[in-house]
Structure 1
């Protein structure tokens, strides 16, 4: 099971201001971002960070709202923006899968600057009238499948894998969308669906006659977590304190992944990245309470061995602070090598790829899988 950095002495020193560095990095006069739409916590966090960057560096921020993964990722791909406050699609882009398996996409040279891990989680919402002692009791139950939502369906697959189950072990019930799935649970046409714990849909189910329950994913179930991470390696154990029916005093042992994930392309100017990561870490107290979920950017929440590589300058910053270890460096190198392999495989595949989009995607996914397996790596998809 993946672990985050465990360097309490370094972290406490930073928090106490004992390791102070200058913010005099040559930040640009303007930073262009893309983020979730206005009114979302992700957008509010970037606005709070942008205000701090202006105060400390004089850097103005232009934030372009994007309502879906493609709208947020496209400006980064084309160079229209410097940074994306993205969701898990950033990982899919790095891997060249799902919507990024199309001919106009392919594996992207994405690098992490920072991530936010907030108090909510991604859980399996199960109707309260279903007999359920643990996640394995989903066997034979009616599980919502969302047409066109590969990311949430992959999350549901990962939850099933935790219990050693697959879609073949449940009754799959297809729905046209997210809200329709919860309407289906409330009306008795399904029993469970994957969701973030704080969504209005989960609140509606909790308030319905059927009620709501969340199966736990015990962090000490090493076999369960190994199966889950084999299916979706971007998850991590998380004690959830926010959500429908969840008592903050009795956290739910569940799973999560960062949101937002602040990413750039690999070639973003080092001085920009240094100024940004320095501000995010060393001025944390100045913005942590200025937007919902902003506390998630704390140093102790940064997973140094996650599934997308850090920008080189972020690595240098953590190394300078004494946080970066040899194990982290080996993991980083492996991720960079994986990206390079995927890009080389994509370039070679495109040279003689079919014109039909469906055939193109099928052929790419088969070629991608073969290349990763030949290198001894988990294709995941």
Structure 2
């Protein structure tokens, strides 16, 4: 670790775990890997600790895990090079695109590369009060839907779910809440009808246990038009059969849309040998950690979406080729994603040279410039 990283860890006091190596580090893996992850006590943090122990056992690599309570705290050390990897949320995609919280002067599109992702038995869904008489997402028309102040990811998810049902925010009564828990307090008390959440969150459990109860409108696989509308708003969503969560029958499950959590990412310049050693260890020793933390089974090879919205690291692609699961169609998709990132990066570099110093004018100007560049290249704008 360099002196800058040492000062960083000492100054922040966020260093919470160092797994002591029991064997000499291999030639393929570094002596240490530094991560950011969700806060202690979360499933995302527990998963990285479990994976770290397996990597340590096989390569001797020490793991240092820094908990970050929000997207910026998790991704800033990755941007600055103070950590090697981030067990992030969907903000990794926003960072790749240079949008939302990453549209400001200090950010812009990031060279994000996926190592692996987890799709567990729980998922994202539209939690609707059981007495609101909502069976499909189209039935949300005229209902009171929670909008969380400052939570771009959840609000974008709500927009995508509305789109599946052929609706927009204009078709519902948008109620603004200061936070996630207050939104569910609003539903329970009868001031709102629905909110986006993960199915296993305590807030959803509280709603399910309340007199109003909870329902989860399904997203039928047969509704191709609905899936297209959702994809146009948020292309990172994918079909997902949810079998765990508040009021959900584990045997029957229900059809929803979700995206991976966590999303294990690095920058494109992460050492090839490091990325290769990590994915090889994770795939070939899956049984060693799949039951070690909630959701860890979601890293199974069968759960990996090889044609998602963020490109894989080159070393991951090479490993998948070696085990004969990488196809030419996947490579074509990968090439297009890398081309998109390069276009966004070049557009950003040109834009910032003469951009306004006013932060809001800067953001709006960047989004307009970004949209024009993508349109000119015949690529979806999305944001």
Bin the TM-score by the shorter chain. Answer: over 0.9
1:184 is paired with a residue whose SS is helix
Q: How far is 1:208 from its partner?
A: 1.1
Partner Cα separation in structure 2 for residue 367 and residue 181 of structure 1: 35
The ranges of structure 1 where at least 4 consecutive aligned residues each deviate by more than 4 angstroms after the TM superposition are none
1:205 is paired with a residue whose SS is helix
Partner Cα separation in structure 2 for residue 238 and residue 210 of structure 1: 26
- CA deviations on 1:297-319 (whole Å, 9 max, x unpaired) are 00000000000000001001111
Within 5 A, what are the aligned runs for 1:219-368? 219-368=221-370
TM-score normalized with structure 1 length: 0.93
- Corresponding residue for 1:163? 165
Partner Cα separation in structure 2 for residue 218 and residue 161 of structure 1: 14
Assess if the C-alpha contact under 8 Å between 1:76 and 1:84 holds in 2.
Answer: yes
- CA deviations on 1:73-118 (whole Å, 9 max, x unpaired) are 0000000000000000000000000010010000000000000001
1:181 is paired with a residue whose SS is helix
Matching of residue 62 in structure 1 with residue 64 in structure 2: yes
Assess if the C-alpha contact under 8 Å between 1:77 and 1:108 holds in 2.
Answer: yes
Partner Cα separation in structure 1 for residue 345 and residue 36 of structure 2: 24
- CA deviations on 1:284-332 (whole Å, 9 max, x unpaired) are 1111111111100000000000000000010011111111101000000
Matching of residue 49 in structure 1 with residue 88 in structure 2: no
Q: How far is 1:156 from its partner?
A: 0.2
Partner Cα separation in structure 1 for residue 127 and residue 237 of structure 2: 17
Structure 2 unaligned regions, length at least 5 = 1-24
Assess if the C-alpha contact under 8 Å between 2:104 and 2:362 holds in 1.
Answer: yes
2:128 is paired with a residue whose SS is strand
Partner Cα separation in structure 2 for residue 153 and residue 175 of structure 1: 11
Equivalent pairs, count: 359
1:124 is paired with a residue whose SS is strand
Instruction: Give the alignment partner of residue 120 of structure 1, picking from 111, 119, 122.
Output: 122
1:53 is paired with a residue whose SS is helix
- Corresponding residue for 2:5? none
Partner Cα separation in structure 1 for residue 236 and residue 142 of structure 2: 27
- Corresponding residue for 2:12? none
1:160 is paired with a residue whose SS is helix
Assess if the C-alpha contact under 8 Å between 1:123 and 1:197 holds in 2.
Answer: yes
Partner Cα separation in structure 2 for residue 295 and residue 183 of structure 1: 32
Q: How far is 1:131 from its partner?
A: 1.1
- CA deviations on 1:53-81 (whole Å, 9 max, x unpaired) are 11100111011111100000000000000
Assess if the C-alpha contact under 8 Å between 2:26 and 2:60 holds in 1.
Answer: no
Assess if the C-alpha contact under 8 Å between 1:25 and 1:274 holds in 2.
Answer: no
Q: Which structure would you say has the larger RCO, counting Cα contacts within 8 Å and 6 or more residues apart?
A: 1
TM-score normalized with structure 2 length: 0.93
Structure 1 unaligned regions, length at least 5 = 1-22
C-alpha RMSD over aligned residues: 1.0
- Corresponding residue for 2:21? none
Assess if the C-alpha contact under 8 Å between 1:237 and 1:255 holds in 2.
Answer: yes
Q: How far is 1:25 from its partner?
A: 5.8
- Corresponding residue for 2:77? 75
- CA deviations on 1:211-246 (whole Å, 9 max, x unpaired) are 111000012211111110110011111110110000
Q: How far is 1:196 from its partner?
A: 0.5
- CA deviations on 1:157-187 (whole Å, 9 max, x unpaired) are 0000001110011111111111111111111
Partner Cα separation in structure 1 for residue 331 and residue 280 of structure 2: 20
Partner Cα separation in structure 2 for residue 295 and residue 258 of structure 1: 12
Partner Cα separation in structure 1 for residue 223 and residue 207 of structure 2: 28
Assess if the C-alpha contact under 8 Å between 1:134 and 1:216 holds in 2.
Answer: yes
Indicate how the Cα distance of structure 1 residues 24 and 278 shifts in structure 2: closer, same or farther if over 3 A, else same. farther
Instruction: Give the alignment partner of residue 182 of structure 2, picking from 167, 180, 183.
Output: 180
